[in-house]
Amino acid sequence: MAGTHLSAEDVRAIADLARLELSEEDVALYQRQLSDVLEYFQKLEELDTSQIDPTSSVLPLTNVLRADEAGEALPVDEAVSNAPDSDGEQFRVGAVLGGE
């Protein structure tokens, strides 16, 4: 499948799926760029990878995060000290559903 070339209609359909509004200049630009990407993938498909073990990552899998362990809770006054609005013990937030 050499020479894959997307049409302007293909690009508009992709943009529609992504909810993007494109100018005609954008359509022409993306038509060339996306066609180039597809052609590059076709070149990659020609590579013989039958002797390469499948992997999900070429990097070693190590967890860089600390263990999730419970610690001491903040005192209430410290927890709400930077809140834009509180009653001293609880955060105050505006209504989310219905009303003001």
Domain spans of the chain, in order of start = 8-45
Check if CATH label 1.10.20 holds for domain 8-45: yes
On the CB side of 91, CA atoms within 13 Å amount to 9
Phi-psi region of 77 (alpha: psi -120 to 50; beta: other; left: phi over 0): alpha
From CA 53, how far away is CA 50, in angstroms rounded? 8
* Total-model pTM: 0.49
100 pLDDT higher than 70: no
- Cβ atoms of 80 and 88 closer than 8 Å: yes
64 pLDDT higher than 90: no
The model's pLDDT over 10-49, given as tens digits with 9 standing for 90+, comes to 999 999 999 999 999 999 999 999 999 999 999 989 999 8
Hey, CA dihedral for 43, 49, 53, 59, is it positive or negative?
negative
